[in-house]
């Protein structure tokens, strides 16, 4: 152990690096005399930042007066730069140095603009606009040190945005991995791929030892399948009833080994790796996992209430002001009736309240306005309902447009800056959502998830794995990992011919060729694109004519109802050769790619990377959710109906009790007897 510590210490050295981090925002246009937009970026904890530069790509209205208009930059609440747009028309780029002392791990960058037109400088019009282009970014010049031998330090480096962007992170497992080893490896992979934010990057799953130049490798394998040099460093006897997570040195590079002789404990250790909180808290070289070790992530279930901002945000000056906030929904939920935006406000008491108001917009669509009031100036709440049919992505914007006016008679005596308003930190959005169970690629992989975790997923893989198969699994589970926020999901890997009883309990994801994945051969009659009788290529159908040779080179991804259980879904990713299977999987590895296939349940990709999409099924909703969806849509009706029935039953009981107490029911019976 002392030698291990020494080897890590001697390798600690600074390395100069550069990394450009794009913002996640889409291109945004803001209109008004005073506008504001928020963007977010991160700084890795192991960076020693030498210089950070904001590259702001923007455009202002052609009517903007460049002599008096200005743009101001604020990071984490501290303003440090203002400039005037240049006289050039069209897209402009401004490079601004960000003071390193302002940077934190999570950073909020705010761009505010005071935009005045040439002919009507004091009057806000739609021509007062600022567009911030989505190519804006922050560039870092920094130094890093090699990680220590602590698990949390290795984990921090391995999941760093710059490490993943440089293709220096990978998960490895034996080429002839067992189903348990693959289940554990994919569990770990899904926990790590949530850090992959760039659309052109991935975290690969590879056969063990395939590329020894990768800087940070996670090795997941049964003890008996580890390389001899690693086995010699581990206590074999203890691994019978324990698993271990340990940082080691191999080929002069650090590796993180996850292993056990027990299949159950190997999966449990992988679940520990998929828990970000636990991995960041583990400050030792070796972590032993027993059957009693807690590995589940803390509760992250969507509770419906989402804060809009962390601290109060202010606007100042008469005129039109815009504040923009971001809200996140779980990927597997849709906006439903009853959602609201609750904006808590404080504002000046000297406004002209007949002309001062705030308007709430969601994704640039106005949903409500409220006039400001002198009585509520110290503590006002604007509450607006979202239309039930308003489509919301997993991330959407809430915009507060303020129109602040001063009384005409005080305009000369009172400075314009005396008009102000604040959005308070306890503002929030309440999103009443319903699970989205459409069996279309619009809703993939959410259709296989519940409460931000994988839900009962069976992965059926080829009998004999190739490198293309490993890359296919990385594509499929890379996207699932982007969506999964918890490590509690249930999935299991199978090969050969799993029993119908096993497949009936789960959503099924099958990939491979008909020759190597027997289940796909069995399912051929169920597929939208079916194989020919020799299983050498696909047959033509009503959607697409396929030439015989061409049909052997295409790969498909087909989303169907499971024939084993109509309440579950089935995804088949297949082609006549494993390279065609891989090509099909490349369309399922990024959110930006999935977004191309709206209202589709089938994707076809050829060897020239041309891709086509089709919809075969008429009914898109999974059957087990038909009642639930009806209930959600008519929830209020059923609640009122239930309360009404309870009220009728209660009053009926009261009336009968009164009659019985006064003997009216009994006397009626006696009268019949004496008649």
pLDDT interval class at 62 (50, 70, 90): confident
pLDDT for 122 beyond 60: no
Classify residue 256 by burial, with Cβ atoms within 10 Å: 0-12, 13-18, 19+: buried
Tokens of 367: 């949903």
Mean pLDDT of all residues in 360-367: 86
Mean pLDDT estimate for the chain: 84
pLDDT interval class at 633 (50, 70, 90): very low
pLDDT interval class at 447 (50, 70, 90): confident
d(CA 665, CA 656): 9
pLDDT interval class at 365 (50, 70, 90): confident
d(CA 536, CA 320): 65
Contact in structure between 221 and 267 (CB atoms under 8 Å): no
Sign of CA dihedral 119, 120, 121, 127: negative
Sequence-distant (≥ 6) Cβ neighbours of residue 29 within 8 angstroms: 129, 130, 131
pLDDT score of 335: 58
Higher per-residue pLDDT: 87 or 198: 87
pLDDT for 166 beyond 70: yes
pLDDT score of 147: 83
pLDDT for 306 beyond 90: no
Conformation bin of residue 77: beta by default, left when phi > 0, alpha when psi is -120 to 50: left
Tokens of 545: 């004519």
| HEC letters along 261-278 | CCHHHHHHHHHHHCCHHH
pLDDT interval class at 670 (50, 70, 90): very low
pTM for this predicted structure: 0.78
pLDDT 10s digits, 176-185: 999 999 999 9
pLDDT score of 252: 81
pLDDT 10s digits, 583-621: 999 999 988 888 899 899 999 999 999 999 999 988 776
Higher per-residue pLDDT: 226 or 418: 226
Most confident among 118-122, 160-164, 640-644 (mean pLDDT): 160-164
| HEC letters along 148-176 | CCCHHHHHHHHCCHHHHHCCCEEEEECCC
Give the chain's end-to-end CA distance (angstroms, integer).
105
Contact in structure between 306 and 328 (CB atoms under 8 Å): yes
pLDDT for 536 beyond 50: yes
Contact in structure between 325 and 363 (CB atoms under 8 Å): no
Mean pLDDT of all residues in 159-188: 94
pLDDT for 459 beyond 80: yes
Contact in structure between 611 and 589 (CB atoms under 8 Å): no
Most confident among 359-363, 425-429, 550-554, 636-640 (mean pLDDT): 550-554
The neighbouring-strand residues paired with 238 are none
d(CA 263, CA 243): 9
Sequence-distant (≥ 6) Cβ neighbours of residue 287 within 8 angstroms: 151, 244, 245, 246, 272
Mean pLDDT of all residues in 301-327: 78
The neighbouring-strand residues paired with 342 are 383, 428
pLDDT interval class at 140 (50, 70, 90): very high
d(CA 528, CA 543): 9
pLDDT for 533 beyond 50: yes
Range with lowest mean pLDDT among 162-171, 196-205, 513-522: 196-205
pLDDT interval class at 201 (50, 70, 90): confident
Mean pLDDT of all residues in 83-107: 91
pLDDT score of 322: 82
Most confident among 279-293, 360-374, 386-400 (mean pLDDT): 279-293
In three-state secondary structure terms, 53 is: strand
pLDDT interval class at 314 (50, 70, 90): confident
Higher per-residue pLDDT: 579 or 106: 579
How many CB atoms are located within 10 Å of the residue 118 CB?
15
Percent of the chain beyond pLDDT 70?
84
pLDDT score of 674: 37
């Amino acid at each position: 152990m002392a030698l291990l510590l020494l080897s890590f210490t001697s390798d600690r050295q600074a390395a100069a690096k550069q990394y450009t981090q794009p913002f996640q925002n889409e291109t945004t246009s803001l209109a008004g005399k005073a506008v504001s937009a928020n963007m977010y970026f991160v700084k890795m904890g192991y960076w020693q930042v030498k210089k950070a530069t904001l590259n702001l790509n923007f455009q202002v209205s052609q009517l903007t007066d460049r002599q008096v208009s200005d743009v101001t930059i604020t990071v984490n609440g501290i303003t440090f730069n203002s400039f005037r747009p240049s006289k050039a028309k069209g897209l402009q780029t401004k490079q601004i140095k960000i003071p390193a002392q302002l940077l934190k791990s999570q950073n909020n960058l705010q761009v505010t603009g005071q935009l005045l037109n040439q002919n009507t400088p004091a009057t806000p019009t739609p021509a007062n606009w600022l567009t911030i282009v989505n190519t804006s970014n922050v560039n870092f010049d920094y130094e890093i040190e090699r990680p220590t031998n602590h698990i949390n330090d290795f984990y921090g480096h391995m999941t760093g945005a710059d490490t993943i962007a440089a293709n220096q992170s990978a998960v490895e497992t034996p080429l002839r991995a067992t189903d348990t080893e693959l289940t554990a490896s994919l569990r770990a992979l899904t926990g790590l791929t949530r850090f992959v934010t760039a659309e052109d990057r991935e975290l690969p799953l590879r056969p063990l030892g395939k590329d020894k130049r990768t800087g940070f490798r996670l090795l997941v394998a049964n003890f008996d399948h580890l390389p001899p040099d690693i086995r010699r460093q581990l206590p074999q006897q203890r691994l019978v009833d324990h698993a271990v997570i340990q940082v080691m040195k191999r080929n002069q590079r650090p590796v993180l080994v996850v292993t056990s002789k027990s299949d159950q404990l190997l999966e449990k250790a992988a679940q520990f790796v998929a828990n970000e909180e636990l991995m960041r808290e583990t400050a030792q070289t070796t972590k032993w996992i027993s059957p009693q070790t807690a590995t589940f992530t803390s509760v992250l279930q969507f509770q419906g209430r989402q804060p809009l901002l962390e601290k109060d945000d202010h606007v100042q000056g008469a005129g039109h002001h815009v504040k923009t906030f971001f809200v996140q929904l779980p990927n597997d939920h849709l906006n439903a009736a009853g959602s609201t935006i609750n904006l808590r406000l404080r504002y000046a008491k000297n406004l002209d309240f007949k002309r001062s108001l705030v308007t709430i917009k969601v994704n640039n669509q106005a949903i409500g306005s409220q006039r400001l009031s002198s009585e509520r100036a110290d503590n006002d709440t604007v509450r607006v309902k979202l239309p039930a049919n308003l489509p919301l992505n997993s991330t959407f914007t809430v915009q507060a447009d303020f129109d602040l006016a001063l009384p005409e008679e005080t305009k000369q005596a009172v400075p314009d800056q005396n008009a102000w308003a604040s959005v308070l930190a306890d503002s929030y959005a309440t999103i009443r959502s319903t699970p989205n169970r459409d069996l279309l690629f619009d809703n993939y992989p959410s259709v296989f998830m519940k409460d931000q975790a994988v839900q009962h997923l069976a992965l059926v893989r080829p009998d004999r794995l190739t490198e293309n198969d490993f890359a296919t699994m990385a594509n499929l589970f890379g996207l699932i990992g982007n969506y999964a926020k918890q490590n509690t999901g249930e999935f299991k890997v199978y090969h050969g011919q799993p029993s119908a009883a096993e497949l009936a309990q789960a959503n099924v994801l099958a990939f491979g060729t008909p020759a190597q994945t027997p289940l796909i051969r069995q399912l051929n009659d169920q597929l939208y694109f079916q194989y020919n009788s020799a299983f050498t290529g696909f047959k033509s159908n009503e959607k697409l004519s396929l030439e015989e040779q061409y049909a052997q080179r295409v790969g498909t991804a087909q989303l169907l109802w499971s024939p084993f259980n109509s309440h579950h879904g089935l995804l088949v990713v297949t082609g006549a050769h494993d390279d065609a299977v891989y090509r099909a999987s490349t369309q399922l590895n990024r959110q930006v790619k999935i977004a191309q296939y709206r209202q589709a349940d089938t994707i076809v990709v050829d060897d020239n990377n041309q891709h086509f999409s089709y919809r075969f099924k008429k009914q898109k909703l999974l059957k087990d959710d038909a009642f639930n969806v009806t209930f959600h849509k008519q929830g209020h009706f059923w609640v009122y109906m239930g309360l009404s029935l309870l009220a009728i039953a209660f009053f009926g009981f009261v009336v009968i009790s009164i009659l019985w107490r006064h003997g009216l029911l009994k006397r009626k019976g006696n009268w019949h007897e004496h008649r």
